[in-house]
């Protein structure tokens, strides 16, 4: 029966490996899926940090666990849930307090340069590769 019963995923919050993403922003990988392109992470964001302009090439959703985030949809506070549809553009995302959020995306996010060219693609493979690199370095 175990050959046909897929494994569950259980992450222990106090045992997560936190990896630096950008100044003031760290993440911990909860799950990535090569089959669907879905990736789910926890972000820890210091007051004043933020994400640069980006397009969502997959729908995303988040739950603010702690702190305050200011972005296109408004101010998100601890306990708030947000949905970000496929194709949405965020000019900026700024954290007004030390913040933590659960975030899941159904595809890549493209961070862009001022000329609209892609500076970086954030997808399931980025997180899987970085997690492997981090484990080797530990």
34-78 confidence digits (pLDDT tens):
999 999 999 999 999 999 999 999 999 999 999 999 998 999 999
CATH number of the domain to which 122 belongs: 2.60.120.10
* Domain-located, residue 13: no
* pLDDT for 2: 56
The pTM (predicted TM-score) of the whole model is 0.91
* pLDDT for 136: 85
Q: For residues 11 and 101, which has the higher predicted lDDT (pLDDT)?
A: 101
Number of domains in the chain: 1
pLDDT surpasses 70 at 9: yes
Q: Residues 14, 6: contact at Cβ < 8 Å? A: no
* Domain-located, residue 5: no
User: What is the C-alpha to C-alpha distance for residues 78 and 69, in angstroms, rounded to an integer?
Assistant: 9
* Domain-located, residue 61: yes
* Domain-located, residue 12: no
* Domain-located, residue 4: no
- 42: domain range? 23-137
* Domain-located, residue 53: yes
* Domain-located, residue 85: yes
């Amino acid at each position: 029966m175990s050959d046909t019963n897929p494994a569950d995923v259980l992450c222990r919050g106090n045992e997560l490996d936190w990896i630096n993403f950008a100044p003031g922003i760290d993440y911990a990988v909860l799950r990535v899926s090569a089959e669907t392109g879905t990736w789910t992470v926890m972000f820890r964001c210091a007051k004043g940090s933020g994400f640069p302009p980006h397009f969502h090439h997959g729908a995303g959703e988040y739950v603010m666990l702690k702190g305050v985030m200011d972005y296109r949809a408004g101010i998100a506070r601890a306990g708030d849930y947000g949905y970000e549809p496929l194709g949405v553009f965020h000019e900026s995302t700024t954290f007004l307090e030390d913040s933590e959020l659960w975030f899941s995306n159904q595809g890549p996010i493209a961070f862009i340069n001022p000329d609209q060219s892609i500076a970086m693609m954030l997808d399931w493979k980025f997180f899987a590769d970085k997690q492997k690199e981090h484990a080797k370095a530990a």
